[in-house]
Structure 1
Amino acid sequence: MSIQIPRGTQDILPGEVEKWQFVEDTAKEICRTYQYKEIRTPIFEHTELFQKGVGDTTDIVQKEMYTFEDRGGRSLTLRPEGTASVVRSFTQHKMFGQPNQPVKLFYNGPMFRYERPQAGRFRQFVQFGVEALGSEDPAIDAEVISLAMTLYKKLGLKSLKLVINSLGDKESRISHRTALINHFQPRIEEFCSDCQNRLEKNPLRILDCKKDRDHELMKSAPSILDYLNNESKTYFDKVLLYLKELGIEYEVDPTLVRGLDYYNHTAFEIMSSAEGFGAITTLCGGGRYNGLVQEMGGPETPGIGFALSIERLLAALEAENIQLPYENPVDCFIVALGEEAKLKAAVLLQQLRQHSFSADMDYLDRKMKAQFKAADRVHAKYVAILGEDELQKRIINLKNMETGEQKEVAITDFVNQFIQLSK
């Protein structure tokens, strides 16, 4: 019996992986222009990190984490998201003491959640995200949102919608929490067991329930916007003002709460309205988490960030029929006929590659016609022909595959000639 790939995972094969590389390279380049630096954290962490950082009332912690004990009896978890790990690293390495503040970071790597696999959702998925730690200026909220929107637009997406809300500060959330409990408590038995458990622990999470989202009490639930104190309302208004000045369209949605416990103040999602994208329209989500660094044992430090799935980004590009402008043609394909020619071709390939040219040759001892077909399949710009006649004359025939022009070049001067042709 052949061994198959685990459910909820995928192989990204040549021909497809180039799309990933293009998207990830674009994201990194945009981060460079915004002055966000890359950070890399372990794929597994102590389970307590996610229980504290993500929140033990979330679906992620309660149902979706891949958790195991190592040989020392320690509970470890494959990371289900990136923010908790970044904040842990920020705290552990005392990055809050660096002279340049805020500390602006980005990450890109695999995450793991035990979810029901469906289109665009996997148990191992790649998440790209940014975190800005050390500033509670509304301008940095707008910058983080701008970075995400810039990435999507740079890649050509047009069917985008930014949805934003404020979860308020601690005082505002306490007032809203009381209102939510009073609203749901009389009929809480009509809700799922998760919602019943969350009523006292974190009633805001009830609004994020997927099972009961169509219940009539959901539609009439108290809005957080009605409970914002003056400070929270002023903060939110400033964020919206910055977005307006940056030319970023948005829609305020008072029901948006996000799925993680650490958010406060700004919360946002970017969605795709492209036809055929699927029922799950969210591309990206993020928000502000001013108490998370303290939760990790660090000093009081504000923070904001977002995360997006590369898989869902690629699905959105496909839904809008956007062809990424990536190319990986071979600069030179050497058609070698005979053992002596193959030996010389191997040397020439090495020399071309040392000058950063993409170069290849045939390794199946095929006839010349088949080798030319192979060169066509890899979109070779030039084909160099080396056979017995060429070896005797100490030349190599170099053909421009676009123009059809062909010329003889001395073997000893081949690499230098190729460098000149490519300038």
Structure 2
Amino acid sequence: MAIQIPRGTQDILPGTVEKWQYIEAKAKEICEIYNYKEIRTPIFESTELFFRGVGDTTDVVQKEMYTFEDRGGRSLTLRPEGTASVARSYVNNKMFGSPNQPTKLFYIGQMFRYERPQAGRFRQFVQFGIEALGSNDPSIDAEVIALAVDLYQSLGLKNLKVVINSLGDQESRQAHRDALINHFQPRINEFCGDCQSRLEKNPLRILDCKKDREHELMSTAPSILAYLNGDSKAYFDKVIGYLEVMGVNYEIDPNLVRGLDYYFHTAFEIMSTSEGFGAITTLCGGGRYNGLVQEIGGPETPGIGFALSIERLISAMEAENVEFPKEDSIDCFVIALGEKAKDTAVKLLFDLRKAGIVSEKDYQDKKLKAQFKAADRLQAKYTVVFGDDELDKGVVSIKEMETGEQQEVPFENAVAYISEKKSEERS
């Protein structure tokens, strides 16, 4: 019996992988415009990093991590998200010492979470994210949100909704925390076991519970916005003011909380409003995490970022019938007939490729007609045809496949001829 692919993973095959390449290229292009630099971190990290950085009350840490012990007895975890790893690298490599602040980074990489696979959600998935570390300026919060919206719109998405909330500073969160405990405690036994354990540890996480989202106490829970102190309210007003200046439409949702423990002040999500996208509409989530770097051993450093799943982005594009660019054709197909010609075709193919001409040839000893069919399937723009007789004369026949026009060219000029044709196409 054939070995099957692990549940919650996927093979991304030619014909599909080009979608990923297109999105990744667009993401890098947007990041370059906003002056964010790429960072690449290990796929596995010390388990402690995620306990301290993500939070031990989160579903990610409690239920979804792939954790193992190495031969030295060290506990390691396949990274479930990118922010903690970026923060760890920021501390380890003393990026806080750079004169260019804030430090603006982006990443694209594999993440791993043990959760129930469903449409657009996998156990191994690719996440794109950005992190801006070292600034308390609310304008960078707005910049981060605008970058995400800019990326989605540049990829053709129109049905987007930005939802934003403030979680406040430490003082505001503490006041809200006490109010939540008083609100839920009398009837906490009606909630799931996770919510019961979170009541004292992190009651804000109760609002993010998927099992009890319809419980009547959820809709009447105290709003964080009612507990924002003056500084927190002023900060939030600045952020939404900058969004308005940038023309980014938004909705304020006082019940929006993020699933990770390190968030303060700004929290946001971007959702798809397309019909048929699915019940889970969130495309992207992020926020400000002013205590994360300090928690993992670095200096007190403010930060903000977001992360999105490439898989869900592709699903959203497909739901809106966004067309991906197609570039399935090749420049040239070499057709050689006869043993001497076949041997010579190897060198000609190499020379064409060295000149930047996307080229292919037959490797299965097919007849002339079958080789032309192969050239058609590959949508070759030109074919170079020659046999042993043509070699003796020092010529090849070059056919423009779209027009059928055929030209006899000296063998030594074949590469230059096709290169010139390509240049004419571009001009």
**Does the TM-score normalized on the shorter chain lie above 0.5?**
yes
Which residue of structure 1 lines up, in the alignment, with residue 182 of structure 2? 182
Once the 2 structures are TM-superposed, how far is the Cα of residue 365 of structure 1 from its aligned partner?
A: 1.0
1:152-171 alignment runs, 5 A limit: 152-171=152-171
| 1:69 and 2:73 aligned | no
User: Is the partner of 2:212 in helix, strand or coil?
Assistant: coil
Which residue of structure 2 lines up, in the alignment, with residue 134 of structure 1? 134
Of stretches 39-48 and 391-400 in structure 1, the one that deviates more from structure 2 is: 391-400
User: Is the partner of 2:110 in helix, strand or coil?
Assistant: strand
1:187-266 alignment runs, 5 A limit: 187-266=187-266
Once the 2 structures are TM-superposed, how far is the Cα of residue 377 of structure 1 from its aligned partner?
A: 1.6
Which residue of structure 1 lines up, in the alignment, with residue 54 of structure 2? 54
Q: Give the whole-Å Cα distance in 2 for the aligned partners of 1:185 and 1:232.
A: 27
Equivalent pair of 2:339/2:388 in contact (CA under 8 Å): no
Of stretches 185-194 and 331-340 in structure 1, the one that deviates more from structure 2 is: 331-340
Q: Give the whole-Å Cα distance in 2 for the aligned partners of 1:379 and 1:53.
A: 51
Identity of aligned residues (%): 72
Of stretches 128-137 and 379-388 in structure 1, the one that deviates more from structure 2 is: 379-388
Q: Give the whole-Å Cα distance in 2 for the aligned partners of 1:13 and 1:338.
A: 35
Which residue of structure 2 lines up, in the alignment, with residue 304 of structure 1? 304
Report how many residues are paired.
Answer: 423
Once the 2 structures are TM-superposed, how far is the Cα of residue 402 of structure 1 from its aligned partner?
A: 2.1
User: Is the partner of 2:151 in helix, strand or coil?
Assistant: helix
1:194 aligned partner, one-letter code:
D
Once the 2 structures are TM-superposed, how far is the Cα of residue 137 of structure 1 from its aligned partner?
A: 0.6
User: Is the partner of 2:257 in helix, strand or coil?
Assistant: coil
Of stretches 130-139 and 393-402 in structure 1, the one that deviates more from structure 2 is: 393-402
Which residue of structure 1 lines up, in the alignment, with residue 9 of structure 2? 9
User: Is the partner of 1:284 in helix, strand or coil?
Assistant: strand
User: Is the partner of 1:398 in helix, strand or coil?
Assistant: strand
1:61 aligned partner, one-letter code:
V
Q: Which runs of 4+ in 1 moved over 4 A?
A: none
Q: What is the CA deviation profile of residues 154-191 of structure 1, one whole-angstrom value per residue up to 9, with x for unaligned ones?
A: 11011111111100000000000000000000000000
| 1:319 and 2:325 aligned | no
Equivalent pair of 2:329/2:378 in contact (CA under 8 Å): yes
1:86 aligned partner, one-letter code:
V
User: Is the partner of 1:257 in helix, strand or coil?
Assistant: coil
| 1:420 and 2:420 aligned | yes
Equivalent pair of 1:19/1:326 in contact (CA under 8 Å): no
Instruction: Could you tell me which runs of 5 or more consecutive residues in structure 1 were left unpaired when the two chains were aligned.
Output: none
Q: Normalising to structure 2: TM-score of the pair?
A: 0.98
The CA RMSD measured in Å over matched residues stands at: 0.9
User: Is the partner of 1:349 in helix, strand or coil?
Assistant: helix
Q: Normalising to structure 1: TM-score of the pair?
A: 0.99
Q: Give the whole-Å Cα distance in 2 for the aligned partners of 1:170 and 1:241.
A: 23
Instruction: Could you tell me which runs of 5 or more consecutive residues in structure 2 were left unpaired when the two chains were aligned.
Output: none
Which residue of structure 2 lines up, in the alignment, with residue 404 of structure 1? 404
Once the 2 structures are TM-superposed, how far is the Cα of residue 404 of structure 1 from its aligned partner?
A: 2.0
Q: Give the whole-Å Cα distance in 2 for the aligned partners of 1:105 and 1:129.
A: 8
Once the 2 structures are TM-superposed, how far is the Cα of residue 257 of structure 1 from its aligned partner?
A: 0.3
Q: Give the whole-Å Cα distance in 2 for the aligned partners of 1:111 and 1:301.
A: 25
Q: Give the whole-Å Cα distance in 2 for the aligned partners of 1:335 and 1:272.
A: 49
Which residue of structure 2 lines up, in the alignment, with residue 370 of structure 1? 370
Q: What is the CA deviation profile of residues 92-146 of structure 1, one whole-angstrom value per residue up to 9, with x for unaligned ones?
A: 1110010000000000010000000111010000000000000011110111111
Once the 2 structures are TM-superposed, how far is the Cα of residue 403 of structure 1 from its aligned partner?
A: 2.2
Of stretches 46-55 and 368-377 in structure 1, the one that deviates more from structure 2 is: 368-377
Once the 2 structures are TM-superposed, how far is the Cα of residue 328 of structure 1 from its aligned partner?
A: 4.1
